[in-house]
């Protein structure tokens, strides 16, 4: 019978892994979340990934090794800052939002954030970040209409005063309409980004609720549900409802229960959780560093998820 909670021994192995092999940022996140360490320790480690222009890079997102600032890495930084519930005047946040504001590209569909700058192509990266031909990255991510815009907008509503008046409202309207135009069934990260938008209770209901209703309608038929599916990269229900208080959690009760059981069982002997993807042979000399970064990030993410769902037996 599957273990329904992560055991104290398994938790200790995860802690030992993070302290021994984890990135300093992830070890600091663990200590803050589970041992009462000050948020300043996390902010100090996160600062190492911020560039002089205010954006984040330096392989904060392990699948892109470019040192230059990118929307991709800056979005990852916003996740950590939201995790810490920093105030709007936190310098790391203020500088990151100023940088994001400068990166907006206006298209026929409104303003979007391209994931990566062109110079990222010269550095090791996963195949889905390829941009060797003009417009390749935009084609891969549907013009960036939903991903990453929906997640960034959803995060920024926690600090609405950080953007000039009217801009966040306009981005919110454009994001709502982009999601309601429909997501492709296999757009894993598009659904996850839209779920961040739907779960941001600061967003006015006339924009957020239609997205929530759309996702609640389509997700039960799109998330992974069978036990043997969770080992593969796909739309894991925990990607769209990472906590029990997320408004999509009720619509996904059964697959979420199965996903939590799999998450507990998926812990490796060394205490870590491993990525379900590879770079498929691209930049083979650099994939090990990316994989190690993911082991670290996914381990603290797994513990935070299990903690949120009350699945840690400590």
The pair of structure tokens assigned to 95 is 């500088």
* Local structure of 137: helix, strand or coil: helix
Confidence band (pLDDT; 50, 70, 90) for 3?
confident
User: 238 pLDDT exceeds 80?
Assistant: yes
The average pLDDT across 227-247 equals 96
What confidence score (pLDDT) does residue 209 get?
98
Residues contacting residue 36 through CB under 8 Å, at least 6 positions apart: none
Q: How far apart are CA 128 and CA 187, in angstroms?
A: 13
Averaged pLDDT, 289-302: 98
The 3-state DSSP class for residue 125 equals strand
Q: Looking at residues 275-295, what average pLDDT do you find?
A: 98
CATH class of 21-250: mainly alpha
Tens digit of each residue's pLDDT (9 = 90 or more) over 214-223? 999 999 999 9
Tokens standing for 91? 């310098």
Structure-token match 């309207």, residue found? 173
Question: What span, in angstroms and rounded, lies between the C-alpha atoms of 32 and 29?
Answer: 5
148 prior amide bond cis, ω within 30: yes
Q: What pLDDT is stored for residue 9 in this prediction?
A: 97
pLDDT tens profile 97-122: 999 999 999 988 799 999 999 999 99
pLDDT tier for residue 2 given thresholds of 50, 70 and 90: low
CA distance 214 to 186: 16
Model pTM score: 0.97
| 1, pLDDT greater than 60 | no
Query: Does the structure show a pLDDT above 90 at 77?
Result: yes
Could you give the CA distance from residue 49 to residue 95 in angstroms, rounded to a whole number? 13
Mean pLDDT of 169-194: 98
């Amino acid at each position: 019978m599957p273990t329904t909670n992560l055991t104290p021994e398994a938790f200790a192995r995860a802690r030992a892994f993070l302290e021994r092999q984890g990135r300093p940022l992830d070890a600091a996140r663990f200590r803050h979340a589970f041992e009462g360490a000050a948020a300043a320790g996390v902010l100090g480690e996160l600062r190492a990934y911020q560039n002089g222009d205010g954006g984040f890079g330096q392989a904060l997102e392990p699948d892109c090794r470019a040192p230059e600032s990118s929307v991709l890495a800056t979005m990852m930084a916003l996740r950590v800052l939201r995790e810490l519930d920093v105030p709007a005047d936190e310098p790391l946040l203020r500088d990151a939002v100023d940088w994001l504001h400068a990166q907006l590209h206006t298209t026929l569909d409104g303003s979007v954030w391209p994931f990566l700058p062109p110079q990222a192509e010269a550095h090791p990266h996963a195949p889905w970040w390829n941009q060797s031909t003009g417009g390749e990255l935009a084609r891969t991510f549907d013009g960036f209409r939903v991903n990453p815009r929906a997640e960034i907008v959803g995060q920024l509503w926690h600090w609405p005063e950080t953007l000039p008046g009217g801009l966040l409202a306009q981005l919110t309207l454009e994001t709502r309409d982009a999601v309601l135009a429909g997501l492709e069934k296999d757009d894993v990260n598009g659904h996850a980004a839209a779920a961040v938008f739907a779960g941001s209770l600061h967003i006015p209901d006339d924009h957020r609720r239609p997205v929530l209703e759309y996702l609640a309608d389509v997700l039960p038929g799109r998330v992974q549900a069978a036990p043997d599916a969770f080992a593969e990269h796909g739309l894991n229900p925990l990607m769209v409802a990472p906590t029990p208080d997320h408004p999509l959690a009720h619509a996904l009760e059964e697959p979420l229960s199965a996903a939590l059981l799999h998450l507990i069982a998926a812990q490796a002997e060394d205490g870590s959780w491993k990525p379900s993807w590879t770079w498929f042979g691209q930049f083979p000399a650099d994939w090990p560093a990316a994989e190690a970064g993911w082991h670290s990030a996914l381990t603290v993410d797994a513990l935070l998820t299990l903690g949120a769902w009350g699945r840690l037996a400590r």
